[in-house]
Chain A
Amino acid sequence: MVANTHEQEFETQELLINMGPQHPSTHGVFRMVLGVDGEVVTDVVPHIGYMHRGAEKLCETMDFRQGVGYMDRTEYLANFNAELSYVLAVEKLAGIEVPERAQWVRMILCELNRLSSHFMFTGAFGTDVGVFGTAFVYSFREREVLLDLFEEITGDRLMYAYFRPGGLAWEVPDNFESRVHEVLLSAERGIRDMDGLLTQNEIFLARTKGVGAISAADAIDWGMSGPSLRASGVPLDLRRDDPYLYYPQVKFDVITGEAGDVFDRYHVRLKEMRESVRIIEQCMERLADGPILPERLPRMLRTPPGEIYERTEAPRGEYGIYLVSQGGNRPYRLKIRSACLSNLQALRDMTIGHYVADAVVILGSIDIVLCEVDR
């Protein structure tokens, strides 16, 4: 019998570990098969599709008003942004002029939605990293305030179905402006709290700095977008580079990171929240009375034949709607360009070479919404 000596090389064996779909840190039903060598990840095979409900196909049987509700259900953390892409595409195809007030309200709601989505991210990400509970409940407390406002305006906490092709479903409440200012104050405090809790925390930094880095060239190659792309140093923001609504009329900075690692993806989002607050404050100054729907809107909206691709900057990246119409009141084909699906493709590149424990952190930093990935 020969005892192992230190000089002798251990022969290691690659092991496959299944993670998900019922794993609490996969943010939904997502399954990855990790190949591990000791503690180091050597291969990642993601399995998606558990949440597929055929939203695109369903929308082909819906008229343009009915379709709005299905957009909510694809992107359930940033519903206003998802609805916006859809209604903008329909409006552009049908040639509808949207009243000014409706556009400003849309902008405010979309930015507020970005805040609530990023609060969700910081909370869930904090849990992934291991700051268990604290970051989560703190950010959810702030998100709650935002959801309360959305409920007062639209009547629902998540599935708003509030935007309509042409404008808004109904007028915002009378105390809208004062309520938004209240909510902004609380959101600013929330951002400060999350900043204090995480950004300089040594344990947090040890878990996130230098982990899951992806270079700018790779990020572009994988088709990443949104904060995950900007963290790698690519200053692409559709609000500035392909403007929609009245974004050219407000001032905001495009936040970029440098290293493209997990910490940068977190930090870019945190800084973006401050920019969102800035945008909303400018919008509130410009908000004036007026109609919220065009004067002459047909009872049943029909579009001329044609096709259109309309994209917006959702909290997770480019949320695009490709709409083909052959005339009539419903799309002939609808394709949703999901930001999360493209961002998720880079997961393999980011994770290989890191520890198994970091796989959860890297997945959390992409901020996936599985309903949007699978649609």
Chain B
Amino acid sequence: MRGIVRAMATTLGTFVRGPVTREYPERHRPIPQRDRAFPLLLWDFDTDEPFCTGCHACERACPVECMTVLMKDNPAHTSLGGTSKRRKIIDKFWIDYARCMRCNICVEVCNFDAIAMNNTWSGHEISVYDRADLVMDLPQLLAQHKAGAIDEWVAP
């Protein structure tokens, strides 16, 4: 009997505490800056082109091989009359979000700080009806940073 009374006292004790449950779809809790959703590419506003040069470093380091990278000569390079210092630039980039295991290795190996993990709610809420829709192409990967909708965190 004593044990049951003690258990009841514990239960009653929680009545004075506030609930920790959050009503998720209506309310989004703030997520920490280091939060890792899926990787996306960053946009260089100074030269108006992606940071990514298509060097394949992330593609080689990816444990699950979810990336496909193609590079091209940069048409905006200074030698061609442009303003950019990047000789090569990304041509096509696909990341299969369905395969990605969010290990952050692509961000660590990037020499140009061109890729970051999405740390906003839009990185988590990407349900689709077709798996093929989870293969993101270059415009989709760049869109969020281009729109200024992310405060990215890259480990120093």
Contacts and interface: CB of A to CB of B under 8 A. Distances in A.
* A and B associate: yes
Interface stretch (A25-33, A153-161, A263-271, A333-341): A153-161
A221 to B, nearest CB: 35
Interface residues of A, number: 35
Given A66-B105, A141-B20, A151 B32 contact: yes
B7 A152 contact: no
Nearest to A152: B32
Contacts of A138: 10, 14
A154 B105 CA distance: 13
A159 B4 CA distance: 38
B20 A144 contact: yes
Interface string B101-113: 1111100100000
A171 B101 CA distance: 22
B20 A169 contact: no
Contacts of B156: 170-171
A169 B34 contact: no
Interface string A139-178: 0010010000001111110010100000001110100000
Contacts of A66: 61, 63, 103, 105
From B6, B13, B61, B156, residue with most partner A Cβ within 10 Å: B6
B34 A154 contact: yes
A65 B35 contact: no
Contacts of A73: 101
B148 interface: no
Nearest to A144: B20
Contacts of B53: none
Nearest to B19: A141
A65 B103 CA distance: 10
Given A151-B35, A171-B156, A69 B10 contact: no
Contact of A69 (B4, B34, B101): B101
